[in-house]
Amino acid sequence: MALKKYGSFVICTALWLSGVGVIATVPVQAQTTAASSAELVKELTKGLSITPTQARGGAGTLFSLAKSRLTSEEFSKVASAVPGMSGLLKAAPALHQSSEFSGLESMLPGNMGRMAEAADAFHKLGLSPEMASKFLPIMSKFVQMKGGASTAALLEKALK
């Protein structure tokens, strides 16, 4: 009799607890992704004495440049070595058609126009365009640690 009386209570409690478990895992997964990109941001802020916003935006800008220069398969390898890549790409400053560098882009050969865009993005972050060359060794070391030497070589190839 007691089981009949409390049976639905036990089932409801079990369902509620299992639902809490599912809900609780979602933020943990989001924190893991954020923590992974936070690890790179921390390395950049520490190594370059810049703010986290500048680190995220600069890394996002350079990863975006790499994405435009690599095949989708190659960039996929780089992206898989940097959990939270989409967040970094979104942190890159939005570039407008009428930037102070936009006139140069069409006159430059190959992918050099994209370098002008990167310079504009760094400028918007309060960083000099020369800082991009200081980002590369830190980003490359991070990618190598997470994805191996061949993946780091892809990133270096794209950004040199």
pLDDT digits over 9-61, tens only? 444 444 333 444 443 433 433 344 445 689 999 999 999 999 999 999 999 99
Tell me if 63 sits within 8 A of 88, measured CB to CB: yes
At 33 the three-state DSSP class reads helix
Domain ranges (residues) in the chain: 40-159
pTM: 0.70
What's the pLDDT score for residue 55? 97
Average per-residue pLDDT for the chain: 76
Q: Which of 68, 150, 80 is nearest to 114 (CA)?
A: 68
d(CA 111, CA 65): 9
Question: How many angstroms separate the CA atoms of 127 and 30, rounded?
Answer: 29
Q: Report residue 131 as tokens.
A: 């800082």
Q: Please give the pLDDT value at position 94.
A: 81
